[in-house]
């Protein structure tokens, strides 16, 4: 199993997600003070050997937090008003579909609690996988903080935000039982149920988070194409830099030629200024000689 990619950071109908419980306080005597859990479909041992996943309970696994087949769920719309790919908002009703190993699509359902349908330890509503969609499989999201539920109603749900997964029929949240565990083929896991938690009697965690990838990991072909594009970009940058260097060199050459021309002009001016006094002296001497010649006559 794999989760969807949400580059915009928002949940959409059709996204495959991991349902994560970030903080679970264990029962007394446990060496861990708190630990995270991930909701997963965990069939009993005899059903798993027969490849039967119908009526498998949902548990909270503290060991596996990476996407695998047992802990990936897909958000599907219950109404034709919502298309797959549209943004999921707080208050929108949806189904949670789990695709089992045998390819069977099962719906996360919580039948109303009774003597026959209740969680084994907590005696609240059990959470199971059923074959078809029903009123018991309708879910919606709401912020965990009660003060934010009214202002956030109808707003898009961000990936990783702390929320409550509420059953639309009973208006009760999904909780991870902190005091009740169950032994599975994958180890000891926490029980998951639906119901109001009274801290005076039992303890359960109702803070959940829907997690997806927010950035797509490129494949080998894409990496090769990206490398080729990077090489092209580097080559273009080199050509641009070479052109810039050539332009700078041409400007320097033009400036040098201008400086040389200016220097030559200054030299000519200086040469002319040096020659002019000698010419005046010669003219003065010629005039003096002419005067002496006139007196002699």
pLDDT (tens digit per residue) in 172-203: 999 998 878 888 888 888 889 888 776 555 67
Are residue 199 and residue 268 in the same domain, yes or no?
Answer: no
Are residue 144 and residue 239 in the same domain, yes or no?
Answer: no
What backbone phi and psi angles, to 5 degrees, belong to 69? -65, -40
Are residue 281 and residue 134 in the same domain, yes or no?
Answer: no
Q: Which residues contact 26 (CB under 8 A, 6 or more apart)?
A: 32, 33, 34, 35, 178
pLDDT band (50, 70, 90) for residue 138? very high
pTM for this structure?
0.69
Residue 234 lies in a domain: yes
Domain end: 211, 228, 243, which one? 211
- Paired strand residues for 158: 10
Interatomic CA distance for residues 140 and 89, integer angstroms: 9
Range of the domain at 34: 16-211
Residue 49 lies in a domain: yes
Residue 10 lies in a domain: no
Asked if 186 and 61 count as a contact pair (C-beta separation under 8 A), the reply is: yes
Taking 70 as the threshold, does the pLDDT of residue 142 lie above it?
yes
Are residue 185 and residue 269 in the same domain, yes or no?
Answer: no
Are residue 119 and residue 254 in the same domain, yes or no?
Answer: no
280 versus 48: the higher-pLDDT residue is 48
Domains identified in the chain, total number? 2
- Mean pLDDT, the chain, integer: 81
Domain end: 178, 211, 244, which one? 211
Domain end: 160, 180, 211, which one? 211
pLDDT band (50, 70, 90) for residue 89? very high
Interatomic CA distance for residues 191 and 178, integer angstroms: 8
Q: What is the pLDDT of residues 49-60, one digit of tens each?
A: 888 889 899 999
Question: CB 92: neighbour CB atoms within 10 A?
Answer: 22
Residue 136 lies in a domain: yes
When pLDDT is averaged across residues 149-153 and rounded to a whole number, the result is 93
When pLDDT is averaged across residues 60-71 and rounded to a whole number, the result is 88
Residue 9 lies in a domain: no
Taking 80 as the threshold, does the pLDDT of residue 215 lie above it?
no
pLDDT band (50, 70, 90) for residue 28? low
Token reading at 127: 């959470």
Taking 80 as the threshold, does the pLDDT of residue 153 lie above it?
yes
């Amino acid at each position: 199993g794999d989760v969807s990619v949400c580059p915009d950071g928002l949940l959409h109908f059709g996204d495959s997600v991991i349902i994560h419980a970030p903080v679970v306080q264990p029962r007394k005597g446990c060496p861990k003070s708190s630990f995270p859990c991930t909701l997963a479909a965990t069939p009993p041992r005899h059903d798993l050997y027969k490849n039967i996943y119908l009526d498998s309970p949902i548990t909270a696994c503290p060991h596996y937090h990476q996407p695998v087949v047992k802990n990936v769920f897909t958000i599907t719309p219950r109404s034709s008003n919502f298309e797959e790919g549209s943004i999921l908002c707080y208050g929108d009703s949806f189904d949670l579909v789990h695709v089992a190993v045998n390819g069977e699509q099962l719906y996360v359902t919580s039948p109303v609690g009774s003597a026959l349908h209740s969680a084994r330890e907590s005696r609240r509503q059990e959470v199971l996988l059923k074959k078809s969609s029903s009123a018991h499989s309708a879910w919606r999201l709401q912020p965990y903080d009660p003060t934010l539920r009214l202002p956030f109603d109808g707003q898009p749900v961000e990936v990783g935000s702390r929320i409550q997964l509420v059953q639309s029929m009973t208006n009760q949240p999904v909780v991870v039982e902190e005091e009740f565990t169950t032994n599975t083929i994958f180890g000891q896991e926490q029980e998951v149920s639906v119901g109001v938690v009274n801290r005076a009697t039992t303890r359960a965690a109702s803070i959940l988070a829907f997690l997806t990838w927010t950035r797509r990991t490129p494949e080998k072909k894409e990496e090769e194409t990206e490398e080729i594009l990077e090489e092209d970009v580097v080559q273009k940058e080199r050509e641009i830099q070479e052109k810039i260097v050539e332009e700078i060199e041409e400007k320097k050459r033009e400036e040098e030629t201008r400086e040389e021309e200016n220097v030559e002009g200054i030299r000519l001016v200086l040469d002319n200024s040096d020659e002019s006094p000698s010419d005046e002296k010669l003219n003065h001497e010629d005039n003096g000689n002419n005067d002496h010649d006139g007196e002699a006559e």
